[in-house]
Amino acid sequence: MTSNEDTLPASDSHTRMQRIREGIHIRTMKAKRKVEDISKEDVQAFFKKHAFVLFTVAAVVVDVIERHRASHCPLLYMQFHVHVSSTLISSSDSPGIILGFALRPYKMTYREVKYFSFPGELLMRMLQMLVLPLLVSSLITGMAALDSKASGKMGMRAVVYYMTTTIIAVIIGIIVVLMIHPGKGSKDEFMKQSKIEDISPADAFLDLIRNMFPPNMVQACTQQ
pLDDT digit string (tens) for 109-150? 878 888 888 888 888 888 888 888 888 888 788 777 777 777
Q: What is the mean pLDDT of residues 173-188?
A: 76
In a domain, 127, yes or no: yes
13 in any annotated domain: no
Would residue 118 count as lying in a domain?
A: yes
Work out how many domains the chain is built from and give that number.
1
* pLDDT for res 1: 47
Residue 119 lies in a domain: yes
Range of the domain at 133: 110-224
10 pLDDT higher than 70: no
Whether the Cβ atoms of residue 129 and residue 210 lie closer than 8 Å to each other: no
Residue with more model confidence, 132 or 68: 132
**52, containing H or E segment:** helix 51-72
pTM for this model (two decimals): 0.45
The answer to whether residue 90 sits within a structural domain is no
Tell whether 131 is covered by a domain. Answer: yes
61 domain residue, yes or no: no
Residue 15: CA count within 13 A, CB half-sphere: 6
Q: Is there a domain that residue 169 lies in?
A: yes
> Per-residue confidence at 167, pLDDT binned at 50, 70, 90?
very high
* pLDDT for 77: 59
Q: What does pLDDT average to over the chain? A: 76
